[in-house]
Amino acid sequence: MTSTASIIDGKAFALGLRARIAELTADFAAEAGRAPGLAVVLVGEDPASAVYVRSKHKACVEAGMASFEHRLPADTSQVELLALVGTLNADDAVDGILVQLPLPAQIDENRIIAAIDPDKDVDGFHPVNAGRLATGLDGFVPCTPLGCLMLLKNRLGSLSGLDAVVIGRSNIVGKPMAALLTKESCTVTVAHSRTRDLPAVVRRADIVVAAVGRADMVKGDWIKPGATVIDVGINRVDGKLVGDVDFASVARVAGAITPVPGGVGPMTIAVLLRNTLVAAHRNAGVALAPDAI
């Protein structure tokens, strides 16, 4: 007999979150006399990046936030981009700054991230925010892992004591995801390209978060029956979007699974709005209840 996993509808969850954020945005605007503002910087013409930037802009406007888009040519120098970041850091209408990655080869991404005011770093990529997360201080948490955590808590309630395996160790997803799950009292394993017998490691997990960037890598026979599987992958194969998880085989074994598209991706954008709203409250000195979102 084959069972079928529940589908975790990230798109629906994200829409609910965005509606709640829109309400809180209106409250903020009434109190502060201005809308929260997000600046998004896109360097070059990468079509996938242009699509993401457009959906971020649309989500911002729908939530009642101000969206400032800056499109720079592909041959922009590092000095020019640093100057723009400096201008945005100093602009009181800008609560959050997002510089779309990847950047062209002549620009050092780490230099740009380090130049963003940590208190406007709504991506949570600045080393100060990574350090705050690692040490349990308030700061900005990267949008994708925080979105994954929200889906997990919505599905499972308490995560305390669960075995979690994060596949991938990037600064953007794997490392912050592991930190968040550790904070939730999971027993966390970070697996990666050098992990020996990855299927055996994944088979121990109650929670699997796949963030490796390899289409359909995680197979059904790696999954403990009933496990919750979060697929962070966004791979384009023959013009189609596919995750890091082989959905067909894993859905027969898992208890719940996120689809691609419609799973983690929409949560990333909703959390970006959430972080921008939090930044606006901090920058304007307006209180926001800790459990408001």
Ligand X SMILES: Nc1nc(=O)c2c([nH]1)NC[C@@H]1CN(c3ccc(C(=O)N[C@@H](CCC(=O)O)C(=O)O)cc3)C=[N+]21
Q: Catalytic residue numbers?
A: 56, 100, 123
99 binds, among Mg ion, ligand X, none (CB under 5 to 8 A by kind): ligand X
> Taking CB under 6 A as the criterion, which residues in 105-124 touch ligand X?
123
Question: What is the contact mask toward ligand X in residues 232 to 271, using x (rule: CB under 6 A)?
Answer: --x------x------------------xxx--xx-xx--
DSSP string, the chain: ----PEE--HHHHHHHHHHHHHHHHHHHHHHHSS--EEEEEEES--HHHHHHHHHHHHHHHHHT-EEEEEEE-TT--HHHHHHHHHHHHH-TT--EEEEPSSPPTTS-HHHHHHHS-GGG-TT--SHHHHHHHHHT-S-PPPHHHHHHHHHHHHHHS--TT-EEEEE---TTTHHHHHHHHHHTT-EEEEE-TT-TTHHHHHTT-SEEEE-S--TT-B-GGGSPTT-EEEE---EEETTEEE-SB-HHHHTTT-SEE--SSSSHHHHHHHHHHHHHHHHHHHHHT----TT--
Binding residue positions: 168-170, 234
By CB under 5 A, tell whether 143 contacts Mg ion.
yes
Binding residue positions for NADP(+): 168-170, 234
Which residue in the set 8, 24, 65, 143 belongs to the binding site for ligand X (CB under 6 A)? Answer: 143
In the complex with ligand X, the residue whose CB is nearer, 186 or 270, is: 270
In the complex with ligand X, the residue whose CB is nearer, 6 or 55, is: 55
In the complex with ligand X, the residue whose CB is nearer, 13 or 52, is: 52
78, 111 contact by CB (below 8 A): yes
> Taking CB under 5 A as the criterion, which residues in 55-74 touch Mg ion?
none
Label the pairing between strands 96-99 and 187-191: unpaired
| Nearest distance, CB of residue 216 and ligand X, angstroms | 16
Pick the stretch among 27-35, 99-107, 190-198, 214-222 that binds ligand X (CB under 6 A).
99-107
Label the pairing between strands 96-99 and 163-167: unpaired
| Nearest distance, CB of residue 138 and ligand X, angstroms | 20
By CB under 5 A, tell whether 273 contacts Mg ion.
no
In the complex with ligand X, the residue whose CB is nearer, 213 or 262, is: 262
| Nearest distance, CB of residue 53 and ligand X, angstroms | 9
| Nearest distance, CB of residue 90 and ligand X, angstroms | 20
Binding residues for Mg ion, rule: CB under 5 A, are 123, 143
- List residues binding ligand X (CB under 6 A): 51-52, 55, 98-101, 123, 143, 234, 241, 260-262, 265-266, 268-269
